[in-house]
Structure 1
């Protein structure tokens, strides 16, 4: 495999995938009933994991086990190929050393030195053995590659058959299994269950909007984790099935997780998920907690303001030279550094909303 993720596709996926995912999730929540199995999901499993029969297992079909021996055979063949490649590399090095020794022995013979003939014969013997190992390794590599190709053709043939059968198999499975009723839980109830404060506790429309933005940003970047699943899945398959590790998967994902960390700070603050030492704080009343939060908020705003100012400097310097990474992939760095500013703005807004709520709590004597 020689695929390298284009920069435009990476950034388009980071921006658009969460939007598409949220639309699909909301559409699914709006359904009154849910089928036992989904044809789009079956095709997705066919595309991403069909080579091990995942789509068949999803449809409760034991015929998925037909794929496993073929796939295991590919892994075994590739393992043999890697071993043969290592042997060939060592043999190639021995050939170079033997040829060098032969040249030195020949010069010694020309100079009439004692033992030169024996050294020359020994070097020629080593050269012949190394060349024999090269031939054996080359044959093993070719045999392993052909075996893997034949097994891959077999898997591809089964996948083509299943691609035409999936609609029928999905329909039959839905007829066999009862239809499940969709959950009628509202978004507000979900937020309450996940620790997000209910809309009823918001005091102003401003804090309402800020918390909605924080909640949206947290949900948005959460879907990036799904992208990571697909990318690392591709990396593992490319590395161990096709002997073709990528030069972009790891860099793409650690940059994405860095951006996720920055942008999700406001959501973590909203849901009180940041790490804190609350041995004493947890024992305080609601009003005492609000007073404590107000007194210590100055440190929060110093921290968040520093991130905002420093982030702007980093971003300005980066976009000024259109900074890219030093790897072969050479991905743009300035969008990554722009998320420092975005994350700082989001957490500052959420901090202001928290201050407003704490003031309300103090004024009302802890009654919310």
Structure 2
């Protein structure tokens, strides 16, 4: 199978985290048509991302997509067998190398021991009976004979291991080559089918759109919307936008919506990781790290949104029965602990963020400023495009993993999250004070 040697560039990671949510937010606000139709753009997108499973055919309600399923399953089975053969080949090769090194090491030692034994035997024959020199030579002879015996045993074991491992190595290499070829040619067949479908998609889209019963589709969509509205009315939960009463609330609302779309990015990244690992035998070094860092930042930024929409866990058995003014008094009391926590989070996050930039490995001008080596104005005057694009310039703390993603932006996201949380706490405090004054 072909291998995918792709490492996500750091700049692409950050651009994706910023641009994708903006595009998603715009698309989510587009009015939905009364009757949906099949899109050739979406069909080609599915062909690129999931064409190996025939998903583009299923999207267009074409059962010929089932042709792809057994082919893909066979590729996965072939890859699993190839990995098993590769493991067996690696084990056998390791045994061969160890045995060969043992033979290279022990054969000269064995020859040396034989020569020493012959010399000692000749020396013993010339020494006086019962003398100290004779006893010393006899002990040396015993040790030499023991080394000879041990060496012979090691050589015999190495030769036996070599005799058993060489055929196993050859058999594993043959199995590996067979399954690799089987997976590769089946994959090429899938690519050929996808190329044919790329030509046929416009016609398939027209055929799928022609089969739509537009009146029935419109009625079904209307029924679905009515059911959703009825369910929302039963649940009696306010929509998110109804919580926003001032600019702070809107900021928290938009921040929460922005980072919520990062979950969609995770779907694509982990999908790529699974395909790369199990279909192309090319696991990535960046997918897992990029996603857990992303979810950490999402957790921090979404804190203010969760506070705005009352999504945090609390003891409702005591809080829910209270009247609005009493709830406000309870919130006012607990806000003391909230601001202690949020203030501590802000201060410690700022310390972590500055330390992340000021690490000794950082050689950018902003790192010099964070370490106190230059002033703020001097730092601004020395900032240039080269500071952002030169791969030899590092702004601060980086990951210890192979991907080496800079970690200082995550630390500054902690600061942003703490600021949003404090602002939302202030907004909540103002609402509680107003509720107490109004008494309703």
2:110 corresponds to which residue? Answer: 108
Q: Which of 243, 248, 251 pairs up with 1:213? A: 251
| Inter-CA distance 9–118: structure 2 relative to 1 (3 Å threshold) | closer
Asked if 1:356 is matched to 2:430, the reply is yes
1:3 corresponds to which residue? Answer: 6
- Structure 1 vs Structure 2 CA RMSD: 2.6
Rounded to whole Å, the distance in 2 between the matches of 1:125 and 1:260 is 59
Shift of 1:118: 7.3
2:201 corresponds to which residue? Answer: 166
Asked if 1:232 is matched to 2:235, the reply is no
Partners of 1:50 and 1:159 within 8 A in 2: yes
Shift of 1:41: 2.3
2:370 corresponds to which residue? Answer: none
Rounded to whole Å, the distance in 2 between the matches of 1:312 and 1:172 is 59
Partners of 1:196 and 1:270 within 8 A in 2: no
Deviation per residue, 1:78-103 (Å, 9 max, x gap)? 11111111111111121123224434
Alignment of 1:264-279 (within 5 A): 264-279=302-317
Greater mean alpha carbon deviation, residues 1-10 or residues 308-317? 308-317
Rounded to whole Å, the distance in 2 between the matches of 1:117 and 1:333 is 57
**TM-score normalised to the size of structure 1?**
0.90
Asked if 1:252 is matched to 2:290, the reply is yes
The DSSP-based 3-state class of the residue aligned with 2:283 is: coil
Deviation per residue, 1:291-329 (Å, 9 max, x gap)? 111122111111111111111111111122311111111
Asked if 1:223 is matched to 2:261, the reply is yes
The DSSP-based 3-state class of the residue aligned with 1:279 is: helix
Rounded to whole Å, the distance in 2 between the matches of 1:125 and 1:262 is 61
Partners of 1:35 and 1:174 within 8 A in 2: no
| Inter-CA distance 32–117: structure 2 relative to 1 (3 Å threshold) | closer
- Rg comparison, structure with higher value: 2
Rounded to whole Å, the distance in 1 between the matches of 2:417 and 2:155 is 70
Q: Which of 325, 328, 331 pairs up with 1:290? A: 328
Partners of 1:105 and 1:119 within 8 A in 2: no
The DSSP-based 3-state class of the residue aligned with 2:29 is: helix
Q: Which of 293, 300, 311 pairs up with 2:349? A: 311
Greater mean alpha carbon deviation, residues 120-129 or residues 45-54? 120-129
Shift of 1:231: 0.4
Deviation per residue, 1:80-133 (Å, 9 max, x gap)? 111111111111121123224434256335534576667645533431321221
Q: Which of 138, 146, 155 pairs up with 2:173? A: 138
Rounded to whole Å, the distance in 1 between the matches of 2:297 and 2:158 is 59
| Inter-CA distance 267–122: structure 2 relative to 1 (3 Å threshold) | closer
Rounded to whole Å, the distance in 2 between the matches of 1:198 and 1:53 is 39
| Inter-CA distance 283–136: structure 2 relative to 1 (3 Å threshold) | same
Deviation per residue, 1:203-248 (Å, 9 max, x gap)? xxxx422111111111100000000000001111111111111111
Q: Which of 14, 19, 27 pairs up with 1:24? A: 27
Deviation per residue, 1:246-287 (Å, 9 max, x gap)? 111010000000000000011100110111123211121111
Stretches of structure 1 lacking an aligned partner (at least 5 in a row) = none
Rounded to whole Å, the distance in 1 between the matches of 2:289 and 2:241 is 38
**TM-score normalised to the size of structure 2?**
0.76
Deviation per residue, 1:122-175 (Å, 9 max, x gap)? 533431321221111111111111111101110000111111222221221122
Alignment of 1:14-163 (within 5 A): 14-27=17-30, 30-103=31-104, 104-105=106-107, 107-108=109-110, 111-112=113-114, 120=155, 123-163=158-198
Q: How many residues of Structure 1 are paired with residues of Structure 2 in the alignment?
A: 358
Greater mean alpha carbon deviation, residues 5-14 or residues 286-295? 286-295
Greater mean alpha carbon deviation, residues 112-121 or residues 343-352? 112-121
Q: Which of 173, 176, 191 pairs up with 2:211? A: 176
Deviation per residue, 1:17-74 (Å, 9 max, x gap)? 00011111212xx134342433332222111111011111111111011111111111
Greater mean alpha carbon deviation, residues 150-159 or residues 320-329? 320-329
